Amino acid sequence: MINVGNGINASFLISHPPTFPQNPNLLYVGAFAQHKNIESLIDLFCSLAPRYPTLTLTLAGQSTLYLPQIKKHLFTLSPSLRSKINFCLNFSDQKLISLYDFCTILCQPSSQESFGLTLIEAWARKKPVCASRIPPFSELISKSSGGVFLDQITNLLDHPPLCRHFGQNGFRFVKKYHTWDKIGDSLWSKISS
């Protein structure tokens, strides 16, 4: 079996310096499925909110049968906390780019994944990532130096220049290894050797 990872279209790469919102915004992108651990991200956000009063959380993805469970969890929160959590469902590719461009940090709390496509997408837009300690995410973060783990998120929130630093590291990694043309080159070299 040949494993070359996943890729993005080169057009997804940002061509200008990244934009960071004045008030920090955490972003989740993915399906609203149980293994994505979105409730734990909501709980993390709630624990951070007193320390960062302008912090918001955006949950973006495709609706699933598990979404009502997530919304049920939301309704255990105070109205003031709920008002800082936004949902974005079934969006276009252009909206996806906007979501990345107007976030501070991409957060991925999944308990299992086969890769980490959303990490690659965030880095393509020069944004840092903060992810759970599962093997695919650990490997990508280690190879790219493009982010930290969820228990280290305050390092990024307390030091905005680190967000730019990790985002830039991730961007260089994606540009070098994870555009489809680079994936094709890697696949060809493995087949022909």
Per-residue model confidence as pLDDT tens digits over 122-167: 999 999 999 999 999 999 999 999 999 999 999 999 999 999 999 9
**pTM of structure:** 0.91
The answer to whether residue 109 sits within a structural domain is yes
The answer to whether residue 4 sits within a structural domain is no
- In the chain the first and final C-alpha atoms are separated, in Å, by 14
**Which one, of 137, 147, 151, lies nearest residue 169 by Cα?**
147
Question: What's the maximum distance between 2 C-alpha atoms anywhere in the chain?
Answer: 60
**Which one, of 15, 87, 98, 13, lies nearest residue 56 by Cα?**
87
The answer to whether residue 133 sits within a structural domain is yes
The answer to whether residue 139 sits within a structural domain is yes
The answer to whether residue 9 sits within a structural domain is no
**Which one, of 130, 141, 132, 187, lies nearest residue 6 by Cα?**
187
- Strand pairing class (129-131; 56-61): unpaired
CATH, residue 151: 3.40.50.2000
Number of domains in the chain: 1
pLDDT digits (tens, 9 = 90+) for 66-108: 999 999 999 999 999 999 999 999 899 999 999 999 999 999 9
The answer to whether residue 104 sits within a structural domain is yes
pLDDT over 70 (residue 33): yes
Helices marked H in 24-110 — which ranges?
A: 38-48, 67-74, 79-82, 93-101
The answer to whether residue 11 sits within a structural domain is no
Angle at 150 between CA 167 and CA 59, to 5 degrees: 80
Q: Which residues pair with 60 in a beta bridge?
A: 29, 88
By the 8 A CB rule, do 132 and 109 touch?
Answer: yes
Give the list of residues 6+ apart from residue 13 with CB closer than 8 angstroms, or none. 124, 171, 174, 175, 179
pLDDT at residue 1, rounded to an integer: 41
Q: Which domain holds residue 34?
A: 22-192
The answer to whether residue 15 sits within a structural domain is no
